[in-house]
Each structure stands twice: as structure tokens, then as C-alpha cells.
Amino acid sequence: MVTMTTEPGSRSIPLALPRPRRVAVIGGSRTPFARSDGPYATASNQDLLTAALGGLVERYGLAGQQVGEFVAGAVLKHSRDFNLARETVLGSALDPRTPAYDIQQACGTGLQAVIAAANKIALGAVDSAVAGGSDTTSDAPLGVNDELRRILLAARRAKSTGARLKALSAVRPVTWFRTSRATPNPARASPWASTRPVPPAAGR
């Protein structure tokens, strides 16, 4: 029994909620573990997720089937991964109408995806779901700092070749070596608020 109040000091209204359904994990599929910069050096998050999902679809005969939803994410995401779960479904043999959405919570991404899917099943929102995650440091995002990013955006906005070259002239080769104003920023494996690194990871 759950009670709800609409205003401070008002009388509680009892709400009878349905009993949560039992949830079971039927099975799984994964890619083999491998050392960073090894066999998966050129594999993207989508490549790894699609391979794992494809194995699951084949193992349980889900080709052409529409499941309740697919929820997944990645520990380190590229900007191209903004719709990772949906693109993974479209690259699999599942019915393309299968709903999909992303989730991300550092190394707990895959586990949180499972919890989110299980909660929806328990509440009756969906009858079945597939959940998972990807973690690879071999294909980590590589960005640039804000100053170089602004220069590149200014060049993109330029209306003529001359204006574009003028914007790009702000980047000088010497700055790549003497200062950090235009040097690449590799992806970090630790939060910005902490200097404690995450232990070395493998592609999986």
C-alpha cells in the first residue's frame, strides 16, 4: 500500500498498486575479453554491441522478433554514439520496430541497463527486454580543446574560401608543440573532479 498527498497538511490518499511481476534473466551473449589495443583495436562501441546482440539473437531464435525494448550504453562514448542502442538494433536481426534507448553510468553502465529493463518488466511496462553495455579503451574518443574547437567552428561558418582560410590561419604549427592551446585532449578514464585513475580496462 502506498499513500499520496497532494498538498502539505492534506489527508493522505491510499493507493493500491499492483504487485510487481517476477523478473528472470534468461541468458546472455558477449564478446571475448581482449587486451586494450589488441584484437578489438579498430572495433567501435557499436561494433562490439552489435556482435554481442547478434549472438544473442542467433542463440535464442529472435531474428525478426520485436522485443519490449533494448537498453544499452558505453563507458566511453564518441559523439557519433548519441543513438548507440537504436543503431545497434538496426544493425541486428531484431525487428527494427524494437524500441531502444541509451544509458550511461561509468563502469556500471551494463548493470544499470539490466536494472532499468528489469524494473520495466516488473512494473508491466514491457514483457521482455534485452540489456547490455560496451567498454573499450582501444577506440577512445579523441577531442580538441575549446580554443581549437572555436577556430574550426568559425571556419565551418565562413561563407567563402578566403574567410575560411583566414579563420584557419589562427592555428599555427608551433602551437602544437610549445603550448597546449590547440593540442588534442585524449579521453579521460577518471572524473574531472578526481585525479584518481580507473584501473586499466580491456575491450569488451
- By CB atoms closer than 10 A (0-12, 13-18, 19+), residue 118 is middle
107 & 34 share domain:
yes
199 domain residue, yes or no:
no
Residues 6+ apart with CB under 8 A from 190: 196, 197, 198
198 domain residue, yes or no:
no
Per-residue pLDDT of the chain (204 residues; tens, 9 = 90+): 454 555 666 666 666 677 899 999 999 999 999 998 899 999 999 999 999 999 999 999 999 999 999 999 999 898 889 999 999 999 999 999 999 999 999 999 999 999 999 999 999 999 999 999 999 888 888 777 778 888 888 999 999 999 999 988 888 765 555 455 555 555 555 554 555 555 554 455
27 & 101 share domain:
yes
44 domain residue, yes or no:
yes
- For 138-153, b where at least 16 C-beta lie within 10 A, e where not — what string? bbbeeeeeebbeebbe
Q: What is the pLDDT of residue 180?
A: 52
Q: Quote the distance between the C-alpha of residue 62 and its chain's center.
A: 23
14 domain residue, yes or no:
no
72 domain residue, yes or no:
yes
Range of the domain at 180: 142-186
- Domain harbouring 43, CATH code: 3.40.47.10
Counted domains in the chain: 2
Bridge partner list, 100:
70
76 & 153 share domain:
no
71 & 102 share domain:
yes
DSSP code of residue 81: G
76 & 109 share domain:
yes
Q: Is the pTM of this model over 0.95?
A: no
Q: What is the pLDDT of residue 172?
A: 74
153 domain residue, yes or no:
yes
**Across the chain, where does the E strand assignment appear?**
2-4, 13-15, 70-74, 100-102, 130-134, 142-144, 184-186
97 domain residue, yes or no:
yes
24 & 103 share domain:
yes
Which string of DSSP letters, residue by residue, matches 119-132?
HHHHHTS-S--EEE
